[in-house]
Structure 1
Amino acid sequence: MKMPSYPSWEQTLAGKHWRTVHFPRIREDTPTFLGVPYALDESDLQGADVVIIGAPFAAGWGKKYSGVDKAEWLAATTRVRQQSIRYRGGYVQELDIDVFEHLKVVDYGDIPIPLEASYEGTVERILAAQDMVEERVRQALDAGAIPIVIGQNSPVASYAVGRPVAQHFKGPIGMVSLDTHWDAWPYDWATKNDRIAGSTNWKDKLFRDCQNYGMQNLVEIGERGMLEDPATVRRFVNGGCCFMPMWKIRTELGIEGVIRNLDQAYRGTDAVYAHFDMDVLGGAGPTDGDILGELAEPMGMTDYEAIRIAYETGKRGCAGLSFLCIPPGSAVMYRVIVYCLTYFMAGIAERKRGQNGGA
């Protein structure tokens, strides 16, 4: 599949940012997200409200995932940060709020997941990568911060975030999930191993392993089409989850109806975990411009809808957020992630400001 030509770091940087060249960097070509301080170890997390964590991992064996070169998937943690530095900072003009006036945000860099784990997907390597992510997520939670994990595949950027949240808060946990697919099969497609919470089964395994997740507090948004096993969908719907497929969003709910229904994740829960599988943005079929490869489906969510849901979830309060299946190779798609993450933090900032007696 022919991928669009992604600009080099020099092209991204030249004339497209409002800063000097002196901003924190994780690597020469990788600034911190929006230029926030770089956290080198756990001691740097103290006092933070939000911790940004990169988790580069692509599932399965071989050089491609869903028909797209794995190098393109793995570049997301770098490219999201590269695109973030084109902005002045944390001021969101539509909301007239500067995130950094209310929140301390740090970037904890990329977890050093061995590259082999993405090309030779043995059970041992996958579990080791998962453990590395869980450790950093727990460190953020123990510091009283909200972990935000930028990744590409399960379990690294889903189960490995949702489980520490459940273990940390112990009481009932709600979930807001954006996805094209349910990811709730009873097995992982790549390994067929029951210990792996993979791309096709991480949600099923999370609900089995962490009993404080309840289907009645799951808000599932964006699925569509003919890919799912009917028993899988009906199990969750009959269990009481709020299922909002794109068809229902377009014909009945609209974005305002979606926002109202987010409340179901919060009823009677101690915390909420939000998971944004960005293949929810969809595609228009197998063309050269179909950057999601086999993951692309028609009738996708718009960028505004995803950003608005991120903001509203942050505003209601959220214990952890993860991104995966970020559409590869497109600068504007990486900017969508920058917006989702920043507007989520803006919601958190508005919530904190309100709790502190602000306007």
Structure 2
Amino acid sequence: MTKKIYGNTPCFLGAINASNGEGIEQSDVIIYGIPWEGAVTWGDYTGCELGPKVMRICSARYSGYLPEIDHIDVFEHLKLADMGDVDVVPADVPKTMERIESFSKKVWESGRFPVALGGDHGVTYPIVKSLTKTGKKVGIIHLDAHYDNMPSHNGDEFARSTPFARLYELDAVRNESIIHTGIHGPRNKPESGQFAKQAGAKTITVRDIRESSSLTELADRIYQEASQDVDAVYLSICSDVLDYAFNPGGPVDGNGLNSYELLTLVYEFCKKGIIGMDFVEVYPQQDPNQFSAHLVSTVVLYALAGTIKNREQKNLNGNNKKLIAN
């Protein structure tokens, strides 16, 4: 019987229902949703606050078996717990950011691998801020079409176009270990690229990815830079790093990655050691067949498969203390 997190909404990928806190100790991975849509930075409201619900519904059809990755079955290695959603306050942006940070801090303190389902990209700032409060120096691999580093949007410092500007400001985030990856398209502003460079962050454009002779080797180079002089590397994925041909339920950006490229990069990053991740900016209202929401399940499974491989390598090296790479 499918486990339910809310009403008729199933737990993500059949996870244990841990919304009451039970089952966390028996889990390796914690799923949680952030049903948040803040300031609209272009067009109209996107409905991305519905993302966590729709992602969960779509996930009900998937097993954990990936025949293309050594026939691995993720669920034979990892137990998932779904802690439900952050209790956001639609009329109060600062209060919502506080609640995301508080909820995320509890997840980090559990020692499990967190997967946060957004929501707009503004949620990444409080997630990573809460990680830094556990005493870790952090690097970030940011997969996105856009820098999302504007100082503010119409006075809102927490809009979806601003999280990396806020992250640049955190002492415990090493800016030189922020790698903006997959950047492309004319919806970026010149100031964003300049700001990233001034802050010390690095940029890997979609053209850099396409001209690389090997995705695996490129992933290794990106990870080496992201992990330099930090304790942990976090992975943040915006759906629009994908070309809109593969992402009908997301921002309309052409010349993005295809699904193979995204899945390969995510797997390789996690195989090297990622402490946690988010997936944001899925717009169910423009995705009638839920293609984008379905892809999220596959991306998460590839990330977890990579995390399993990372753990296996650590076990071979005699370090069997934790699932999560530090």
State the TM-score, normalizing by the size of structure 1: 0.79
CA contact (8 A) 1:217 1:266 kept: yes
Q: Tell me what 1:53 maps to.
A: 32
Q: Tell me what 2:9 maps to.
A: 30
How many Å separate the matches in 2 of 1:79 and 1:185? 29
CA contact (8 A) 1:165 1:320 kept: no
Cα deviation per residue 1:155-196 (whole Å; 9 max; x = unaligned)? 32x11211111221x243111001111111122x14x04xx3
CA spacing shift, 1:221–1:24, aligned 2, 3 Å: same
Which of 292, 308, 324 is equivalent to 2:264?
308
Q: Tell me what 1:19 maps to.
A: none
CA spacing shift, 1:66–1:269, aligned 2, 3 Å: same
Q: Tell me what 1:354 maps to.
A: 313
Within-5 A mapping of 1:65-144: 66-67=42-43, 69-71=45-47, 73-87=48-62, 89-95=63-69, 96-114=71-89, 117=90, 122=91, 125-144=92-111
How many Å separate the matches in 1 of 2:179 and 2:200? 10
1:151 maps to a residue whose letter is: G
CA contact (8 A) 1:59 1:154 kept: no
Q: Tell me what 1:10 maps to.
A: none
CA contact (8 A) 1:279 1:327 kept: no
Displacement of 1:290: 5.9
Cα deviation per residue 1:11-35 (whole Å; 9 max; x = unaligned)? xxxxxxxxxxx11101333111111
CA spacing shift, 1:107–1:290, aligned 2, 3 Å: closer
Displacement of 1:334: 1.3
4+ aligned runs moved over 4 Å, structure 1: none
CA spacing shift, 1:105–1:163, aligned 2, 3 Å: same
Q: Which runs of 5+ in 2 are unaligned?
A: 318-326
Secondary structure, in 3 states, of the residue corresponding to 2:52? helix
CA contact (8 A) 1:242 1:261 kept: no
Which of 166, 185, 188 is equivalent to 1:205?
166
How many Å separate the matches in 2 of 1:235 and 1:39? 41
How many Å separate the matches in 2 of 1:197 and 1:206? 11
Q: Tell me what 1:214 maps to.
A: 174
Q: Tell me what 1:15 maps to.
A: none
1:225 aligns with 2:146: no
How many Å separate the matches in 2 of 1:84 and 1:70? 21
CA contact (8 A) 1:314 1:345 kept: yes
Which of 198, 208, 228 is equivalent to 1:267?
228
1:355 maps to a residue whose letter is: K
Within-5 A mapping of 1:149-298: 149-156=116-123, 158-168=124-134, 170-187=135-152, 189-190=153-154, 192-193=155-156, 196-208=157-169, 210-237=170-197, 240-252=200-212, 255-262=215-222, 263-283=224-244, 291-292=249-250, 295-298=251-254
CA spacing shift, 1:242–1:206, aligned 2, 3 Å: closer
Within-5 A mapping of 1:319-330: 319-328=275-284, 329=287, 330=289
Secondary structure, in 3 states, of the residue corresponding to 1:42? coil
Displacement of 1:235: 3.7
How many Å separate the matches in 2 of 1:110 and 1:129? 12
The structure with more radius of gyration = 1
Displacement of 1:233: 1.1
Secondary structure, in 3 states, of the residue corresponding to 2:316? coil
Cα deviation per residue 1:98-141 (whole Å; 9 max; x = unaligned)? 22222221011122324xx1xxxx5xx11222222222211111
CA contact (8 A) 1:215 1:241 kept: yes
CA contact (8 A) 2:249 2:290 kept: no
Cα deviation per residue 1:186-243 (whole Å; 9 max; x = unaligned)? 22x14x04xx3221211011120x2121222112111113333434313423555331
How many Å separate the matches in 2 of 1:112 and 1:102? 31
2:79 maps to a residue whose letter is: K
Between Structure 1 and Structure 2, how many residues are aligned?
A: 311
Secondary structure, in 3 states, of the residue corresponding to 2:158? coil
Q: CA RMSD in A?
A: 2.3
Q: Which runs of 5+ in 1 are unaligned?
A: 1-21
Q: Mean alpha-carbon deviation: is it higher for 141-150 or for 302-311?
A: 302-311
Secondary structure, in 3 states, of the residue corresponding to 1:273? strand
Displacement of 1:68: 5.0
